[in-house]
Structure 1
Amino acid sequence: MSVSPRFSAATAVLAACAVLTAGCTEQESSSAVPSPSAAPSLAPGCSAGEIVDGPLPEWARGGFSGDAHARHVLGTQGQLAAVLFGHPLTVDRKDGVSNKILWVAREKYETGTLTITARREGTGEPVLREVAGGPGPSIIDLPQPGCWRLDLAWPGHTDTMDLVYAG
């Protein structure tokens, strides 16, 4: 039985751009990167990963043009980047924007599923989310505001990151 290699990060980004912009309103497309003042403040003791508003790492730039400037968070092991098109991430979106996250893997991987096991800080109850096909475009909604630890697993790889969802 043979398993086909997963497409490159560049192909994933190109596909994600098409998926993420399909159905966007003109207002949503033009405000894909909100101003820094839109960032939610961290809860006391929250160890959320730093949201970088700047150039993506070299390995995550495929399919982006120019300086590949975007809001993103890197996994603690540096194996996955979460490009935040829906920043700030919010539990109850009333503005018509969704919690769009483009997951970009550092290394090629076999076709499979990105499994996200999320736990809100201070609780032990996990919330499971899946991205079919592995890292790529997604909309990740979580049920409550707070700092969430995401344990991320896709074929042959794992990483962890913390993200804040505002109320």
Structure 2
Amino acid sequence: MKCIYYLTSTLDSTGHITDDLHDAGIGDWFIHVLSKDETGLSKKKIHSSNYLEKLDLLRFGIIGAIVGFLVGLFAANLLKTTQPFGPDVPNIVYYAIVGVITSFGAWEGGLTGIASENKKVALFHDDIAAGRYLILIYAHKEKEAIVKSVMQSKHPEANLVAEDSYFYNPLSTLKRV
């Protein structure tokens, strides 16, 4: 599935875009809008974005888990090598140490991610702060051409600003078009 990013200036335009995409067979769950005007989106019954799109929870959670895993491996290896509790410690204890420290790293990374704007959406921070609407359209490969056709023919006021890969990878970067 590909995510196609469009920017538009007005709430009315955003509403017409979502209506036209619905008419073209794109479901409401595949259209998300980021805006500082959440009330306007709610009044027009436009599907707003979710926390995973707004915040960097996944990216920092994954990074925290990786760091935690490496620290856990180091700690378990250090304890196994130095044997401060004697030579009779079962291996499950070392696995548990790695698991607990990995989980702690993922948790700490998630907390950092909750406090951070999504790296991909941060490219459009100034546009959103200026009152523009960022429309994220998730399209299967066979619907991609339909989305682009509807947007080109009916909504020239909306600017195609980015496209994300078919596989959602929170560690990848997004480039503006």
Normalization by structure 2: what TM-score?
Answer: 0.30
Larger helix proportion of the pair: 2
Name the larger-Rg structure.
2
Structure holding more strand per residue: 1
Q: TM-score, normalised by structure 1?
A: 0.31
Higher relative contact order (CA 8 A, sep 6+): 2
